[in-house]
């Protein structure tokens, strides 16, 4: 969730700090202004504010319940935090870069609002476990939004596929026409990829949904904190089991960025095919004006820019993952300031990924499929060479020999400028005695597709099974609904 900035961090950073540092007790001199500007993170981590405040309210209530601070003070802190959150959500909060990060900005505003009682909020916690908690809460919410977008995308593919179970087009290997399939079967291949992306999101969510609050700076607390109570209030399923690991762990971020990167590859492949299919050389699809652009020079152009940009964004997702992995690979336990660099990578990938999924769904829903062009491409008899080989196998010929026979037949087609359907049964017998009068009957694209009824095949019956299984995936109980 992004919050509105009343003024830019850069312009605010040029002004002198209004308040002393909340950690400044042991320091006699001030921080150099250029260091403040270089090290501040509030310009980007302010989006954590609602999650930071939510965690702080749960922490304050726990401190009151445990009688670590008076109940009245805890209630006053919670009410003060609600006021700070209201200002942030209304866009009336000035984030001060001199206070470094979102956490210190919130605490400073709280203390200004309710007085010294606000200083009791930080009892039993450090910014280390505080930021880890806020980030996990934020990532959990981002996972939920992305998962819902994937469910919508898969649902759109299923709706299109229901209408295209009989639409024949060539399947390709090496970008060469290979065998006929159905459009539904082709699109459902991407639905399977996105279903795996959805499952991965659920797995990442489970490992994200662990509460680190109570781990302190690195060694927990001697105060009687109720970590389990805080976890229950915040919806966490478990507690971190080692305080050193809890504040230095970025695995849940790596997994999120890894899932985003892999998913970006899936989205990129789909967009690449839409780009190819929208070209005059294919003509399989016409993309909507809403998701294409024109040329500043050539009036006739319809450029698939959105698909191309999504394809390009996959590299950005991969780059963010590599950046974060490189940052952490040599860090000793526990927290190090390098880790501040995780937020921009994490936020950028989350925003990019979600936007790509949402735009892909909208773009696909608005795309028109040219069944006539697909049928013309699939009418090439050479796509059915394997059907002839399978015919000979059913007659008892070993497949390798059948493959060789049909290979010679294809070579003859090229030399004589013929196609497979141009050979009579008698002529086919010149290549193999096992060819009978019924052999030309297998050279029918619709029959060839319809015969491939195995689980995972392109026949309409097999496609119907695929769709039922995907509907089950969408119907599974999920924590984000």
Catalytic residue set: 174, 295
- Which residues have CB under 8 Å from 101's CB, separation 6+? 40, 41, 42, 45, 127, 131
Pairing between β-strand 238-239 and β-strand 285-286 as defined by DSSP bridges: unpaired
Apex 211 CA angle, 208 and 214, nearest 5:
150
- b/e burial code for range 418-453 (CB count within 10 A of at least 16 → b): ebbeebeeeebeebbebbeeebbebbbbeebbbebe
Distance CA(2)–CA(411), nearest Å, equals 63
The residues with which 54 forms a beta bridge, in sequence order, are none
Query: Can you tell me the distance from the alpha carbon of 9 to that of 157, in angstroms, rounded to the nearest whole number?
Result: 43
Distance separating alpha carbons of residues 428 and 425, to the nearest angstrom: 5
**What's the Cα-to-Cα distance from 274 to each of 81, 286, 331, rounded to whole Å?**
49, 9, 43
**Helical residues (DSSP H) of 95-126, grouped into ranges:** 102-114
Nearest CA to 226 out of 49, 74, 52 is that of 74
CA–CA dist 40, 343 (Å, integer): 12
Query: If phi over 0 gives left and psi between -120 and 50 gives alpha, with beta otherwise, what is residue 67?
Result: left
* Phi, psi dihedrals of residue 480, rounded to the nearest 5°: -90, 0
Q: How far apart are CA 333 and CA 248, in angstroms?
A: 7
Residue 317 and residue 258 in contact, taking contact as beta carbons nearer than 8 Å: no
- Most distant pair of Cα atoms in the chain: their distance: 102
From CA 108, how far away is CA 22, in angstroms rounded?
8
- CA–CA separation, 266 vs 101, rounded Å? 36
CA gap 271, 264 in Å, rounded = 10
Q: Are 214 and 63 in contact (CB under 8 A)?
A: no
């Amino acid at each position: 969730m992004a919050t509105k900035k009343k003024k830019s961090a850069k312009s605010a950073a040029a002004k002198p700090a209004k308040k002393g540092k909340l950690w400044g007790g042991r320091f006699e001199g001030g921080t150099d202004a250029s260091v403040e500007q270089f090290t501040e993170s509030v310009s980007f981590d302010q989006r954590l504010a609602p999650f930071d405040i939510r965690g702080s309210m749960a922490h304050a209530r726990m401190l009151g319940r445990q009688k670590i601070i008076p109940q009245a003070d805890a209630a006053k802190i919670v009410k003060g935090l609600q006021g700070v959150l209201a200002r942030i959500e209304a866009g009336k909060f000035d984030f001060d870069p001199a206070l470094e990060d979102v956490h210190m900005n919130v605490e400073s505003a709280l203390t200004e609002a309710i007085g010294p009682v606000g200083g009791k909020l930080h009892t039993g916690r450090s910014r280390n476990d505080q930021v880890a908690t806020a980030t996990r809460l934020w990532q959990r919410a981002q996972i939920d939004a992305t998962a819902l977008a994937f469910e919508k995308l898969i649902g759109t593919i299923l709706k299109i596929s229901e209408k295209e179970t009989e639409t024949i087009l060539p399947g390709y290997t090496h970008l060469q026409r290979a065998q006929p399939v159905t459009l539904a079967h082709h699109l459902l291949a991407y639905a399977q990829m996105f279903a795996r992306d959805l499952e991965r999101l659920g797995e990442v969510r489970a490992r994200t949904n662990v509460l680190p609050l109570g781990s302190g700076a690195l060694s927990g607390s001697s105060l009687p904190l109720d970590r389990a109570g805080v976890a229950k209030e915040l919806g966490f399923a478990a507690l971190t089991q080692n305080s050193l690991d809890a504040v230095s762990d970025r695995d849940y971020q790596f997994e999120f960025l890894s899932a985003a990167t892999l998913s970006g590859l899936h989205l990129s492949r789909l967009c690449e095919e839409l780009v190819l299919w929208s070209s005059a050389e294919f003509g399989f699809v016409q993309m909507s004006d809403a998701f294409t652009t024109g040329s500043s020079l050539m009036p006739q152009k319809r450029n698939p820019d959105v698909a191309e940009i999504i394809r390009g964004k996959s590299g950005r997702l991969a780059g963010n993952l590599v950046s974060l992995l490189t940052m952490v690979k040599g860090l000793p336990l526990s927290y190090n300031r390098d880790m501040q660099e995780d937020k921009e990578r994490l936020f950028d990938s989350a925003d990019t990924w979600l936007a790509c999924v949402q735009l892909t769904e909208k773009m696909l829903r608005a795309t028109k499929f040219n069944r006539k062009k697909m049928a013309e491409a699939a009418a090439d008899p050479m796509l059915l060479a394997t059907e002839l080989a399978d015919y000979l196998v059913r007659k008892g010929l070993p497949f390798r020999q059948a493959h060789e026979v049909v290979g010679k037949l294809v070579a003859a087609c090229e030399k004589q400028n013929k196609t497979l359907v141009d050979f009579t049964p008698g002529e086919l017998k010149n290549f193999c005695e096992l060819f009978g009068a019924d052999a030309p009957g297998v050279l029918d694209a619709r029959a060839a597709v319809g015969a491939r009824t195995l689980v995972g095949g392109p026949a309409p019956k097999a496609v119907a099974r695929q769709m039922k299984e995907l509907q089950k995936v969408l119907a599974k109980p999920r924590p984000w609904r």
